[in-house]
Structure 1
Amino acid sequence: MTAMDERPVDAGVLINELEGHLLIEATLGEGRAEAGRFSRQFGWLTDSQRVEVEERFAEVYVALAGVSWQRTVQRGAELRGEYEEAYRVLRRRVLSVWLFGMALISGAGVLIVSLARQ
């Protein structure tokens, strides 16, 4: 909590932000490593050209990872919606079967009682 902001700090939000930053940094490191491997095959590049190629490669690598993450988030949301709908349908079916079973048991009980009174 800061002096200017009296709202309590949400630890979950902070952890998510930290994880995001760590993921981006790890991806940037992977991109730089891949860029180095990629540029080594071009022995004719000057040092400044190699640095530029590696920087661009790493930028594209991180951008592509970001697009992949966005697709993953989108697909996760779609799957969540599908599973929630399937759960609602299943819950309605179970409730319907349970209600039918209770009605059947109640009807059988009434029938037994009425037969016993005769």
Structure 2
Amino acid sequence: MTHGGQHTPDDDRNGLLANAVEGYLLARTHQDRARREAEDLCARMPWLTTAQAEDVTRHYLHQRLELTRRMLLDTVERAAQLRQEYEDRYAALRHDLLKRHAACAAAVVACASAVTTLAWLLPR
């Protein structure tokens, strides 16, 4: 948020808080989904005792959440790599564009100088 066109520290804190809340809710959603999957798995194995079902659920939750964590970390890492690649490409394109503009400006100045010189020499 901006206040009168100004960025404030409260904006940063609010953004960080919103990101933290969103992350928490996302983590809870994944955990709830994993728990439902584990319960569905145990329901398909009616021969498990209550203790065994709880053990399977606990192991499944741990494995599933670890997998989700690794996938998210891989995604964050890849996003950082892509960001760097795009920034590098943008810098190269910008540098090339500036060189072209400088060359065009030099050509315009050279043409203007030639026209001015001709205009000055022709009447004589």
The question of whether the paired residues in 2 share the 8 Å contact of 1:28 and 1:58 is answered with yes
2:113 equivalent to 1:80: no
Aligned length: 112
Specify the alignment match of 1:90 in structure 2: 93
Alignment partners' CA distance in 1, 2:45 and 2:117: 95
**1:43 and 2:46 aligned:** yes
Range with greater deviation from structure 2 (83-92 or 41-50): 41-50
**Alignment RMSD:** 1.7
One-letter amino acid matched to 1:56: H
Structure 1 stretches lacking a partner, 5+ long: 1-6
* 4+ runs deviating over 6 angstroms: none
What do the CA deviations read for 1:17-75 (whole angstroms, capped 9, x no partner)? 11111111101001001112222232221122112111211121111101111001110
Instruction: Name the SS of the counterpart of 1:10 in structure 2.
Output: helix
AA aligned to 1:68 is M
Worse-superposed segment, 14-23 or 79-88: 14-23
* CA shift digits 1:92-118 (9 cap, x unpaired): 001000000000011001011111122
Distance 1:117 1:17 in 2: 71
Structure 2: runs of 5 or more not aligned: 1-8
Q: Equivalents in 1 of 2:106, 2:61: separation in Å? A: 67
Identical amino acids, percent of aligned pairs:
29
After superposition, the C-alpha distances for 1:73-100 in whole angstroms (9 at most, x for unaligned) are 1101111100000000000001000000
Note if 1:25 corresponds to 2:28.
Answer: yes
Q: Distance in 1 between matches of 2:67 and 2:94?
A: 40
